[in-house]
Structure 1
Amino acid sequence: MRLLIVEDEPGISNFLKQGLEEESYVVDVAENGKNGLELALSGDYDLLLLDWMLPGMSGIEICNQFRKKFTETPIIFLTAKDTVDETIFGLQSGANDYIKKPFHFDELLERIKVQLRPKSGEHAIFTLGDITLNTNSHKVFRGSEEISLTQKEFALLEYLMRHKDSVCKRSQIIKNVWDIHFDYNTSVIDVYINALRKKLKLSTSTNYIQTIRGIGYMASEL
């Protein structure tokens, strides 16, 4: 998923960008309100992280302008303001959540995950060519044919499809699919990739799961 950070303190924005990219998010940064609003209005983002006090245009103003066009994209304010009235004002302006500086990165990460979680009753469906994966029903189809996958095969395919067209490093896959307790040098990923390719009946013309030598794998229709 793609996130936008609008923050004028380079130390904070660089720290957040590095941490979030390590969690497999795609992250852009704007250092002032004007550039932040321009990027936000492009509609390319799944979530915005807005500092309240910004040069040129405040986070509140960005939020108000952004909400005129995009009503569903989550917004989290990052700010030192901490009164009840200020919190209420920020939420009433259209923000979904609010975290006070200084904050722990792990707390922010969990707040982001909550905002990006599929809504109750909403189908989270991912596609890759003629492959469809539904995280609610836990089913995978290749065209009209249902493909039976093990729990770990499903988790691996979901991870790759969530990050379609982005290279997934082996260490990222191990951490997110098998948990960090596994040995990063294990060949288990290759075994499961081969099993997925076989079950999905991938061929040279439909090579949707590509090997990036020395790095990892990428799900792509190209």
Structure 2
Amino acid sequence: MLTPGIQPPFPLDWGFSTRLDSSETLPPRRLDQVHGCGIVEASDAVVEGDGLWTTKPGIRIGVRVADCVPVLLAGPLNDGTPWVAALHAGWRGATGHGPSPAEGILRRGVAWFRNLGGEPTSLVWAFGPAILACHFEVGEEVIGAARQDPAWQEELRHPGPAGKPHLDLHGFLRAQALDLGLDAGKEGSVALCTMCRADLLHSHRRGDTGRQWGWIEIR
């Protein structure tokens, strides 16, 4: 298990699983993930979506990923209530790309927190292992979708060895986080590449059918 490198604001358990971890430590499946931007409050039902949040202790929530970015958020609401979220951010989720373009999933997650009475600067946040810029070859349509976000920076697009661009998805989400008012000093990301680390991580692009989790639970 890989643990975010930041001290949480209240007692919680959280982390990013690897191919070496037992399934007994992982959360129950609560989402049918569709590479979208839907975020719901966690319940016992399995629903369609790509993000979960809860304020209830003892509810372990998480998202399954292979090359996409697992995002964990934790912070107190204005009345002191602990709030946590787990989000699944591929390029579609990060950009809000779809038939009707919308805000990306990180922006929606922070909006949930703010609407419930939280201040973005109080959030601790972490991105987990994912396909990094060294291997994330994409089409120009992906870069075009990312450019629609107000936090876009051209240095997030890298020239790839095969002539197609590479996208720094971790960096793109980090730019969004800072644009949303999150504190750079409260980031605890684990920047391991799923393509590079076949010894530790699953990767869909490598032809691996396994998945790892990003999960979080208020104690």
Please report the TM-score for the alignment, with normalisation by the length of structure 1. 0.24
* Greater fraction of residues in helix: 1
Please report the TM-score for the alignment, with normalisation by the length of structure 2. 0.24
User: Greater relative contact order (Cα 8 A, min sep 6): structure 1 or 2?
Assistant: 2
